[in-house]
Amino acid sequence: MTTIIKNGTVVTADLSYKADVRIENGKITEIGQGLKGGTELDATGCYVMPGGIDPHTHLEMPFMGTYSADDFESGTRAALSGGTTMVVDFVLPGQGQGLMDAAQMWHNKSGRANCDYSYHMAVTWWGEKVWEGIADSVKAGITSFKHFMAYKGALMVNDDELFSSFRRVGDLGGLAMVHAENGDVVAELTAKLLAEGNTGPEGHAYSRPPQVEGEATNRAIMIADMAGVPLYVVHVSCEDAHEAIRRARAAGKRVWGEPLIQHLTLDESEYFHPDWDHAARRVMSPPFRNKEHQASLWAGLMSGSLSVVATDHCAFTTEQKRFGVGNFAKIPNGTGGLEDRIPMLWTHGVGTGRLTPNEFVAVTSTNIAKILNLYPKKGAVLVGADADLVVLDPEKEKVISASTQQSAIDYNVFEGQKVKGLPRYVLTRGQVAVDDGAVKTQEGHGKFVGREARPAVNRALSQWKDLTAPRPVVRTGIPATGV
């Protein structure tokens, strides 16, 4: 089957130019002028861009006593409707569970996906089985490993475990990832706030100040440097974390930071809304910050010190959020955003002049495709690339509303926001999933995309080289003459 996208402007991370795009058997086969034959999709007045890649989702994930409400079907339908054609979801092994057992659980759920997907593996506990599991995971095409420095008593790993795991991942050519918050400090602050009667959703924000994120980000960067592994910091929300990333990058370290569309556009005032539900629906970690932190994140995107905009889509219904009435620490952490990331970032990034259309493509698709070794299969408009494409109409507008969304939850954190820049067409491996604005997904169309490790890059990284190599004994015993 042949499809031709006609009369649009191709926009990649590098270039913008007028051209038609021919698609055959799910791949781009020709880019040029005046292409003919097959089904034509009219892109007059539109940008033809690589589909968005959201590298941070939690679909149907067991978490805080419940499951996130969007599964691989509704989650990927939401993604496609908003111009995201690939998600990378986190496999979350239970305590003591083997990594490949957990990966199999994810494969069982993801068969319903409407678009392509890949996985990151979470390292949620440490032992010989995990050491082995990391190698099995790399062989199975899951080459990035997330570590939680928060959620003490549940998912958190300590520094010794972090260092061991980072070294293992580094040796195998993988990518280390961190949720960077100091979980010990968060636990202390949470207990203190609750004891003082501060039980509402605003307590969640008080318990996770920017310092806990800045400290953990810096610690993770230093540990990764000693371990010889590149590091990807998820959901960077504040200047304190951004500053640590900037410093690391300026020193030549392979460190990347990922702000979320939520932190870029919503601020901490949401937690002071008089309606408990309103505030609880926005409880996520890290919490929304003040406008100065927001400005820092935008500056990072504009200057290149922050590389990727994601969502951390981890949606819970109002009913689930109410598990935390009387104790903010029991509100399931997470917000949605999968279908709103592209239009929200286009509106607030390109629409305000902060990002060029090419920079927009870089931070929503191409950069993460390169970081995760998916490029140019994904994240590119090139002959041979998968035809995961968005035809974005910069004049098309809507007001975001839960009443028209694809996500399974009963509200939207961006409710009432007017966005400009919406998909006219979205294609997933050549199949039309959004057709002149109408969502027409096909359950089960999505395929798992495995990724290759990069051992050569990682071997070149560590300034410490191999910490286990024999070191000369310089002196022993006590000083001969005393001090």
> In the complex, which residues of this chain contact ligand URP (CB under 6 A)?
58, 179, 235, 284-285, 312, 314, 333-334
Q: Between residues 112 and 281, which has the closer beta carbon with respect to ligand URP?
A: 281
Q: Could you tell me the smallest distance in angstroms from the CB atom of residue 428 to Zn ion?
A: 23
Residue that the structure tokens 């309606």 belong to: 275
Among 30-38, 115-123, 174-182, 217-225, the segment contacting Zn ion (CB under 5 A)? 174-182
What does the block give as tokens for 394? 């910069």
DSSP category for residue 173: T
* Beta strands 39-42; 2-11: pairing state: parallel
Specify whether the CB–CB gap between 424 and 393 falls below 8 A: yes
- From the list Zn ion, ligand URP, none, which binds 333 (C-beta under 5 to 8 Å, kind-based)? ligand URP
Q: How many residues interact with Zn ion (rule CB under 5 A)?
A: 4
Among 43-51, 260-268, 305-313, 423-431, the segment contacting Zn ion (CB under 5 A)? 305-313
| 57 vs 72: CA distance, rounded Å | 10
| 104 vs 99: CA distance, rounded Å | 9
Q: Could you tell me the smallest distance in angstroms from the CB atom of residue 370 to Zn ion?
A: 21
Q: Could you tell me the smallest distance in angstroms from the CB atom of residue 334 to ligand URP?
A: 4
What are phi and psi for residue 337, nearest 5 degrees?
160, -10
Q: Does 239 bind Zn ion (CB under 5 A)?
A: no
- From the list Zn ion, ligand URP, none, which binds 208 (C-beta under 5 to 8 Å, kind-based)? none
| 257 vs 156: CA distance, rounded Å | 20
- From the list ligand URP, Zn ion, none, which binds 391 (C-beta under 5 to 8 Å, kind-based)? none
Q: Which amino acid is at 474?
A: V
CA-CA-CA-CA dihedral for 241, 366, 431, 261, to nearest 10: 30
Q: Could you tell me the smallest distance in angstroms from the CB atom of residue 314 to ligand URP?
A: 4
Residue that the structure tokens 């041979």 belong to: 384
Specify whether the CB–CB gap between 115 and 78 falls below 8 A: no
- From the list Zn ion, ligand URP, none, which binds 11 (C-beta under 5 to 8 Å, kind-based)? none
Q: Between residues 3 and 333, which has the closer beta carbon with respect to ligand URP?
A: 333
Q: Between residues 150 and 224, which has the closer beta carbon with respect to ligand URP?
A: 150
Among 278, 330, 396, 398, binds Zn ion (CB under 5 A): 278
> Which of the residues 179 through 198 are near Zn ion (CB under 5 A)?
179
- From the list Zn ion, ligand URP, none, which binds 278 (C-beta under 5 to 8 Å, kind-based)? Zn ion
Q: Could you tell me the smallest distance in angstroms from the CB atom of residue 273 to Zn ion?
A: 6
- End-to-end CA separation in angstroms for the chain: 85
Q: Between residues 208 and 424, which has the closer beta carbon with respect to ligand URP?
A: 208
Q: Between residues 287 and 430, which has the closer beta carbon with respect to ligand URP?
A: 287
The residue at minimum Cβ distance from ligand URP is: 333
Q: Between residues 53 and 284, which has the closer beta carbon with respect to ligand URP?
A: 284
Q: Does 147 bind Zn ion (CB under 5 A)?
A: no
Q: Between residues 58 and 377, which has the closer beta carbon with respect to ligand URP?
A: 58
Among 215, 312, 340, 359, binds Zn ion (CB under 5 A): 312
Contacts of 186 (CB under 8 A, 6+ apart): 150, 152, 207, 208, 212
Rounded to the nearest 10 degrees, what angle do helices 128-139 and 99-110 cross at?
A: 40
* Strand ranges, E, within 265-306: none
| 10 vs 429: CA distance, rounded Å | 17
CB atoms near residue 29 (< 10 Å): 16
Q: Does 281 bind Zn ion (CB under 5 A)?
A: no
What does the block give as tokens for 198? 């501060």
DSSP category for residue 260: B
Q: Considering only CA atoms, which of 205, 210, 181, 158 is closest in space to residue 329? A: 205
Q: Between residues 88 and 391, which has the closer beta carbon with respect to Zn ion?
A: 88
Q: Could you tell me the smallest distance in angstroms from the CB atom of residue 38 to ligand URP?
A: 42
By CB under 5 A, name the binding residues for Zn ion: 179, 275, 278, 312
